[in-house]
Structure 1
Amino acid sequence: MQTPFLFRFRESLAGLPSLLVLLALVLAGVQQTARLVRHEDPKPVQIALFEEAPPAPKVETPPPEPPKKVETPRPVAKPIPVPAPAPRPIPKSDPNPIEQVRPAPETPPVAAQPVARPAPQPTPVAPAAPAPQPVAQPTPSAPSSANVEAQYVGKLRAHLNSIKRYPTGREASQLKPQGKVRVWFVLRRDGSVVDVGIDESSNSMLLDDAARKTINRATFAAFPDGTWPGEGTHRFTADLEFIPVG
């Protein structure tokens, strides 16, 4: 017995309705996505075409003329008026140019009178010259205290420069420092040292120490009379320059 044709494909036919439904759904979705929604803008857009105006022609202005120099008139010297000469007086004509000359009257002769001689006057006696006075000779003035003080300070500095010694030792021979030290020191009136210090360093401890030792080693003279009155002690300064030998 032959099997009917539809029975043979019964399983395929049983799934056909569901396949058709699925196909319909797919087509509906494709149409929905492919549908274009037209979006309309509520405000209309107006496009206007304007003709561009031609550029205005450039007007070349002539360059300004330089200002003309106004020449100021030079002052004209006024002529100095010369006074007119005064008119000479015209001599008046004498109405009687010719007068009759009359002879002068004769004077009687005068008798000679004796002439009185003046009495002799005594001759003046010259006064006696004053006796010469002795001229006082100027006494030599004593030197001022300022000069004595300056001389004393000069002797102190010369003495310190004569006794200064360059520092010795291994460090000094290796470094060989060189420089100037300004040292200050305070002395009593008898020349003894009160205090000593460095006023301007040479940037070398060896040279600064050598300057202090020079002050402590020195022997100073007493203050001269009349110098630094009213001071029991006085502060001095000296510059000591150290130069390595060799």
Structure 2
Amino acid sequence: MRTPFLFRFRESLAGLPSLLVLLALVLAGVQQSTRLKRHKDPTPVQIALLEALPPAPKVETPPPPEPQKKAEPPKPQAKPVPAPKPTPTVQDRPVAEAPAPLPALPQAAPRSAPVSAPAPQPVAQPTPAPPAPNTANAESQYVAKLRAHLNSIKRYPTGREASQLKPQGKVRVWFVLKRDGSVVDMGIDESSNSMLLDDAARKTINRAAFSAFPEGSWSGENTHRFTADLEFIPVSG
């Protein structure tokens, strides 16, 4: 039995499709490599036309200065010869003038009798001013009298409460006086911590009779503020 013709070349025919595919790939690669690609430059090129610059102006050099001519010295002029003066004749000569008379000598003034200088008058000496009063001493004496007067008229508080508590202490009071000695205002400067003693100090100021300010003291003040310390001691009995 005869084998078919194609059956005998079956192995060659089986590899033919692969060979065709390989040949197509080779042809496509060669065709791709031979194709020319256009190269594009992203940066634009600007072409500017520049005008031709004018030629630089020629600098003309000034010609050298001409040498100055020396001035010629002036020619000396000939002095004119003076004409001879005519000699005067006897008639032309002037007559000599007579000498001027001498001035008269001044006469001496008559001597006057010597004037006697006025006698110096005695200068009146100013009378000495009276001595100013010692205001500081007068003020201190007045304050001492006020305090002594208040301590002499103070009274220890009376009553059942005072006899039971028997408070003791010192009260500093302040009071404002006019120049005539009248009381304007008063108050407690330092309390004794006892209402009985503070009240007794106020009653002492109201009871007091103050004299007028001494003359010249606290000048320029219509009123003056004073202080006094009043000490209260209970009476033992």
Q: TM-score range by the shorter chain?
A: 0.3 to 0.5
Larger Rg: 2
Tell me the TM-score normalized by structure 1: 0.43
Tell me the TM-score normalized by structure 2: 0.44
